[in-house]
Amino acid sequence: MHRIIAQLLMYDALEEDCVLKELAKVTKALEEGSGHKPEMISTCFHQVKKILEVGTDYGFDKNLWHNYLTFLIITDENPFSLTSEKIGANEGSVNAFVKHDFKAFMDLFSYDFGPLEQELGIDCFTRLQNYQAIIKPELMYNRNVSEKVRHLSEALEKALDEEEFFTLVTEFYRDYGVGMFGLNKAFRIRGTGEEMKFTAINNMDDVVLNDLVGYEIQKKKLIENTESFVQGRKANNVLLFGDSGTGKSTSIKAIVNEYYKDGLRMIEIYKHQFADLSNVIAAVKNRNYKFIIYMDDLSFEEFEIEYKFLKAVIEGGVETKPDNVLIYATSNRRHLINETWKSRGDVEVNDGIHKSDTMQEQLSLVNRFGVTIYYGKPAPKEFYTIVIELARRSGITQEKMSDEELTLEANRWELAHGGISGRTAQQFVNYLLGTKFLDSALD
């Protein structure tokens, strides 16, 4: 194996303690007769554990060795793979080097662990190649990623030569992309400055816009702006504001789900991270995706200054905000910054600050969003329509509960649970589905 690994050129950026390099050390030591068997066995078991951990994280099955190699290929962000993401391969001299690497990967796919296992008296690698995973809840792993890796792995197993292997991989790059941005829909950031890293959100809701009952005008505005964005036309930053529980956050999550296949990705960022906004944008500006920077429940108190970082990014400084980044924010406040009576009036105070100037600077933030969409709480009749629609979609049929019964019980529920909203309607339906109420209704 060490001879195969040494051949890699474009895909050689392997960490020193990665599985391939550690196994290469073992095979080299065996060949040279310089290794200590107990240590080599321990190294092999440790690398198998790493593969099993990746397999568990991503729900891999059957041939975990092939799944792992495929995962390495589609997450390796090298000059070739980054150039090919969402575009595919073009003609160029680099293709010859890449095909050389893929020939090496084909050798790894067909690598015979038999001699190594016989020499060390182990069989763990054989077990990896015919692995039966324990069935686990989908929330424990990203099914979307798992399916893509496993399907590509099975196709690469059957590749006749490096040309076919090259075609399969570059078509994957074109269709889905490379690395974590290619595989996942949504991300958070961890750390700050040079320590900042993106982490995938694996259990994002699979909600789509049709799941949000009502708000057709609001959804239409959001769709129009997002479609312009993903199609490469000019688009605006968006502020969704209004009453709590009306579907603002749900709308944004649904938009990401529906346009993921078109290269749309979401990065969720919190208020305390606004100082790193420019670093986040710098990290994604040259990628072939469209990024929505998502800010949920955006609001500022009078004493908070984080809004200045947001305002600077939206307005643009010396460096222009790239065309592949937009900001979508939700808020229960129309003006985002809490305005008090103390803020008002153009009066001079002891510290020499003009309060009205400060107030105007704060309140002007909302004007930096090109599209503002209002989500108001539904009228009682609309609320009952939402309840009935959600109930029917959830399997609560007319025979189980009539429209009149649903309306009556929903009215009782909302009086004790936060008033009228889409969220209250969903909570009421969840209550029905999770209790014996429906059983008693049938008696």
**339 has a pLDDT exceeding 70:** no
Look up residue 203 and give its amino acid. N
Tokens of 216: 């057709």
Render pLDDT for 108-129 as a digit per residue (tens, 0 to 9): 999 999 999 999 999 999 999 8
Render pLDDT for 224-248 as a digit per residue (tens, 0 to 9): 999 999 999 999 999 998 888 888 9
CB 23 within 8 A of CB 35: no
Residue in the block written with tokens 């529906």: 258
- Rounded average pLDDT over 17-28: 91
- Rounded average pLDDT over 128-144: 70
Taking only Cα atoms into account, the Rg of the chain, rounded to an integer number of angstroms, comes to 27
CB 414 within 8 A of CB 424: yes
Best-predicted range by mean pLDDT among 65-74, 201-210, 267-276? 65-74
The model's confidence at residue 349, banded by pLDDT at 50, 70 and 90, is very low
Q: Please provide the distance, in angstroms rounded to a whole number, between the alpha carbons at the two ends of the chain.
A: 69
Cα distance between residue 196 and residue 84, in whole Å: 25
- pLDDT for the residue 168: 96
Render pLDDT for 47-94 as a digit per residue (tens, 0 to 9): 999 999 988 888 888 899 999 999 999 999 999 999 898 888 888 889
b/e per residue 356-371 (b: at least 16 CB within 10 A)? eeebeebeebbebbeb
- In the chain, pLDDT over 70 holds for what percent of residues? 84
Render pLDDT for 361-386 as a digit per residue (tens, 0 to 9): 555 666 778 899 999 988 989 999 99
Torsion (CA) 353, 356, 358, 360 in degrees, nearest 10: -160
Q: Which of 312-326, 400-414, 419-433 has the lowest mean pLDDT?
A: 312-326
Cα distance between residue 286 and residue 288, in whole Å: 7
Q: What are phi and psi of 49, to 5 degrees?
A: -60, -40
Which class for 283: exposed (0-12), middle (13-18), buried (19 or more C-beta within 10 A)? middle
- Rounded average pLDDT over 312-320: 61
Render pLDDT for 164-192 as a digit per residue (tens, 0 to 9): 999 999 999 998 889 888 888 999 999 88
- pLDDT for the residue 180: 87
- pLDDT for the residue 214: 87
**314 has a pLDDT exceeding 80:** no
Residue in the block written with tokens 């969402």: 86
Task: Give Cα separations from 112 to 12, 115, 128, 291 (angstroms).
Answer: 21, 7, 13, 43
> Which CATH number, 3.30.70.20, 3.30.200.20, 3.20.20.10, 3.40.50.300, labels domain 198-375?
3.40.50.300
- pLDDT for the residue 340: 46
- Rounded average pLDDT over 22-49: 92
The model's confidence at residue 421, banded by pLDDT at 50, 70 and 90, is confident
